[in-house]
């Protein structure tokens, strides 16, 4: 089910739409010199959704805006800002949609409660199937 043109066109292809004449921002395609910071930056970039190519993270997207956002993330992490703060800052501007990691807002609680709820439900359904030792 993954084989039609649209699939490939969006992911690996850079549609030759109107693009600016400027080269990519400095930190959009360069790694930070400190490997710890770079790892933090990459982890964050993988969790931020690209606003242009909406099925990708900014880490994978070829869109210019994605490159600029990568530049922004790296600069801020290099300046010492924590990834969570950068994510919140972006969420305040674009809404929770931009974060692939569901936030702590009430709308997302069912997601986090679901695993426990499902396990509990399952345990309830099978409780009569298993004879625990000691019970008749």
Q: Which of 82, 88, 109, 122 binds other proteins (CB under 8 A)?
A: 122
Distance in angstroms (rounded) separating the CA atoms of residues 132 and 123? 13
Query: How near is the Cβ of 85 to other proteins at its closest, in Å?
Result: 15
Distance in angstroms (rounded) separating the CA atoms of residues 136 and 123? 19
SS3 99: strand
CB atoms within 10 A of CB 70: 25
| Total binding residues toward other proteins, as defined by CB under 8 A | 80
Distance in angstroms (rounded) separating the CA atoms of residues 17 and 117? 47
Does 84 help bind other proteins (rule: CB under 8 A)?
Answer: no
Does 83 help bind other proteins (rule: CB under 8 A)?
Answer: no
Does 109 help bind other proteins (rule: CB under 8 A)?
Answer: no
Q: Which of residues 19-48 bind other proteins (CB under 8 A)?
A: 19-25, 29-31, 42, 46-47
């Amino acid at each position: 089910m993954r084989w039609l043109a649209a699939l490939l066109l969006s992911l690996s292809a850079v549609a030759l739409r109107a693009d600016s004449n400027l080269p990519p921002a400095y930190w959009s395609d360069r790694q930070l010199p400190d490997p710890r910071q770079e790892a933090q930056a990459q982890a964050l970039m993988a969790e931020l959704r690209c606003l242009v190519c909406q099925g990708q993270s900014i880490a994978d997207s070829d869109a210019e805006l994605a490159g600029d956002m990568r530049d922004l993330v790296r600069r801020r992490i290099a300046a010492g800002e924590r990834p969570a703060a950068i994510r919140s800052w972006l969420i305040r501007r674009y809404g929770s949609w931009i974060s692939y990691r569901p936030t702590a807002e009430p709308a997302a609680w069912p997601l986090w409660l679901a695993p426990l709820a499902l396990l509990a439900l399952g345990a309830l359904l099978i409780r009569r199937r298993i004879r625990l030792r000691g019970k008749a």
